[in-house]
Amino acid sequence: MDYRIEHDSMGEMQVPADCYWGAQTERSRRNFLIGAGIETMPAEIVRAFAVLKKAAAAANKTLQPARMTDGKCDAIAKACDEILAGKLDSHFPLVVWQTGSGTQSNMNVNEVIANRGNEIAGEKLLHPNDDVNMSQSSNDTFPTAMHIAAVTAIETKLFPAIDELVAVFRRLEKENEGIVKSGRTHLQDAVPIAFSQEISGWRSSLERDCEMIKLLLQSLKTLALGGTAVGTGLNAPKGFAEAVAEEVSKITGTAYVTAENKFHALTSKDEIVAVHGAVKALAADMMKIANDIRWLASGPRDGLGEITIPANEPGSSIMPGKVNPTQCEAVTMVAVQVIGNDTAIGMAASQGNFELNVFMPVIAYNFLQSVRLLAEAAVSFTKNCVTGITANREKMHDNLYNSLMLVTALNPYIGYENAAKTAKKAFAENISLKEACVSLGFLSEEEFDRVFHPENMI
C-alpha cells in the first residue's frame, strides 16, 4: 500500500495515499481497534456533520469574510455536498468506541473536507482546524450532529414507515366491519368485540406514538453549535450561533434554532433521552401488535386460528409444511433491541460530568440504530405480513359462540351471581349457556333467545 505523510500537533503520521483523512483520523483508526469495520460511526452522523460544516462555513463567510473567503467557503461546500451524496463514504472509517466527545470523528470530517476541498480548489487552501473547524469545537459539533441526524432519521424514515402501516390497518378496519369475535383479557375469554375495533386499537396506538414523538422532536431542533468548548462560545464571532442555525435550516429544509443555554446543550442529553423514550413506546406497541397477530394466527389447527397471515417461507428443517409467523418474530426482536438501547442511552446521558457529556458516540449509535431498525421492521411487517391478513370468519364465529363470557349479557336479567352460576355449570358439564341457564330455572328458552344476542354486545 502506498502512503503519504500527514502531520498534526503530535507529529507526522503515515496515511494511506488514496484516503482523504489525515493524521488525527489515522491515529484514532490505529488506537481504537474496537468493533473495527463493523461498528463504525453511523453514516447519518457523518452526513449531519457535512450539513453543519457547510452551514458553519457560510455563517463564517458572512461574519468574518477576511478569514472565511469565498474560495474557502466554496471548496468546503463542494466537499460537503459530495459527503451528503454518499460519494466519500469510504473515507470515514472510525468506530463508535472512541473518545466520548466524538472528537476524532469531528476531525475525520474536518480532514476529509480539507483534503478533498483542496483537491477541488487545485491548491492548498483549507486547513482542517483553522478553516473547516472555524468557530467550532468537537464539543458543540457532535451534539449538533446528533440532533440533526436524529431529526432527519425520524422524519424521513420512521414516520413514513409507520404511516404506511397505519394506512394498511385503516384499510383492514373497513374490510372487516361487521365481523364480531370473542374479546380476550388476561389471555382468557372476554366479552365480544368487533374485529374492526381490535384493529383500530392497533392503528390508534401507532398514531398516538407518532404524535408523542412529533411533540418531543421539537426539542431536538435546537442546536448546540456556537457553544464551542464549554458553552461560552470562545473563538466564535458574535451572532455565529444564530447564523449557523439559520444556515442549517436552509440546507435541511427543517427549522432549527440555536439552543438557548449552551452550557445545558453541551452537557445534558435530556432531549435525546426523552425522544428515544417515545421511540421505545412505539417499539413496545409494535411488540404488542406483532404478538397479537401471531397469537390470532396461531395454529393452523391447534391454535386460535382466527386470522390467516401470509406464508413467506418454510418454518422448519424437520417438520414438513410448517410455516411460522416470522415477520412478527422479527418485529418483536427489534422491539427488544430498542428497549435495550433505551437503557444504554439513559445510562450514557446520566454521565454528563461538569461541562460535557462524554458518552455521545454510544448515544448516537443506539438512537440511530433504534430508529433505523424500527423503520425497516415496520416496512417489512407491512409488506410481508399485515397487508395479507385475512379474517377466518367461521373460526371467529365458533370461538365467539363457545365463549362462556357471553353470559355477561344475562347480568341485567338474572343478576351477576346467577350469571356466574350459569357459566360455571356450562363449563363443568360442557353444555351451552342456554342449556345451563334454562336448567337452573333462571330463564325459559324463549326468554333466553329474546335477550341473548352476542352481536349486540360490541
The residues carrying an active-site annotation are 186, 316
124 vs 9, 17, 53, 116, CA distance in Å?
18, 17, 19, 10
Separation of alpha carbons 58 and 65, rounded Å: 10
Q: What is the DSSP string of 101-156?
A: T-HHHHHHHHHHHHHHHHHHHTSS---IIIIITTT--HHHHHHHHHHHHHHHHIII
The C-alpha cell at 438 is 334454562
The Cβ of residue 214 has, within 10 Å, a number of other Cβ atoms equal to 14
Query: What is the rounded (10 degree) CA torsion for 123, 49, 51, 131?
Result: -30
With residue 222 as reference, give the H or E element that holds it.
Answer: strand 222-223
The Cβ of residue 299 has, within 10 Å, a number of other Cβ atoms equal to 14
**Cβ–Cβ < 8 Å for 422, 414:** yes
Residue whose C-alpha is closest to residue 13's, from 1, 21, 5: 5
Grid coordinates 442546536 are at which residue?
223
Residue whose C-alpha is closest to residue 61's, from 46, 77, 48: 77
- Buried residues in 25-47 as b, exposed as e (16+ CB within 10 A): bbbbbeebeeeeeeebbbebbbb
User: Largest Cα–Cα distance of the chain, in whole Å?
Assistant: 101
**Cβ–Cβ < 8 Å for 123, 90:** no
Grid coordinates 336448567 are at which residue?
439
Helix (H, G, I), strand (E, B) or coil at 357: strand
Q: Are strands 3-8 and 11-16 parallel, antiparallel or unpaired?
A: antiparallel
The contacts of residue 156 (CB under 8 Å, 6+ apart) are none
Residue whose C-alpha is closest to residue 128's, from 104, 107, 145, 103: 107
Report the amino acid identity of residue 114: A
